[in-house]
Amino acid sequence: MSGPQPAAGGVVVAVLGLGEAGTAISQDLLAAGVTVRGYDPVRSGPAGTVVTSGDADACAGAGLVLSLTTAHESEAAFRAAAPAVGPAAIYADLNTSSAGLKQRIADLAGQAGVAFADVALMSPVPGRGIRTPMLVSGPAAAGVADAINRLGGKAEVLAGPAGAAATRKLVRSVFYKGLAAAVVESLRAGRAAGCESWLRDNIAAELAAAGPATLERLEEGSRRHAVRRADEMAAATALLGELGVPARIAAASHDWLAQLAQEGGDFP
């Protein structure tokens, strides 16, 4: 298939999935003189990418395979690619999926004789590309981290099996994405109640004032005052219902506080 010739040094990277993340990383690799063999069923990738006919075709001759499909496609992508992954190549799954799925693919890789690592992208890829901070775990973690770092990346090896990196990312995501969801829900309620501007200023001030002590205050305050705060969130849930705003975060907060109260909250 026609396309750019191999880069200086013969570095060839296969990128499976050419969405936002795959495209950004591919652009950086191309700028560094790497030959990028890409496959995506609906996208062709950035200019200079060797467009291939499938996952296996993309892996032909590649020393490093970066899977950036989606979580629900990651296992199928590996199964399709594995027969073409060379004996000296390493396969990195960068998809955001559960630890169990990462380990299942690692098991398949072991059976197929493919060196495999679980990679967690620890910040948004747009604007960072290959320089996105990454955690890498699993059998081939050291090799994958070294390969990514040689290409300009910021990968850190994490001791443990495939899934260890995914676990770190996802437990952190509960906070970051949960916080974002709470902000969205709160602002929608504020808009419906006619006090959105005041609420925006209030939330921004709280976030700006947050420091190391904030974490302990939030955790211990929730335990210490669980009963009272559960009642407060029950009232907040009812208010959102009156305002016509889905109370998903408010209701979940009530449930957690109610559990903390059962575990012994509201102590002196």
- Tell me, what's the pLDDT at 10? 80
- Percentage with pLDDT > 70 across the chain: 95
For residue 35, what is the DSSP state? E
Beta strands 35-39 and 50-51: pairing type? parallel
- 148-171 pLDDT tens trace: 999 999 999 999 999 999 999 999
How much is the pTM? 0.87
* Spatial CB neighbours of 161, under 8 Å, sequence gap ≥ 6: 103, 106, 137, 138, 139
Query: Could you report the per-residue pLDDT of 233-267, keeping only the tens digit for each?
Result: 999 999 999 999 999 999 999 999 999 999 985 54
Helices 99-112 and 164-193, packing angle to 10 deg: 150
pLDDT of residue 44: 86
39: which DSSP letter?
E
Residue 88 pLDDT > 60: yes
2 has a pLDDT exceeding 60: no
Residue 148's pLDDT is what? 96
The terminus-to-terminus CA distance of the chain in angstroms comes to 73
Neighbours of 202 (CB within 10 A): 13
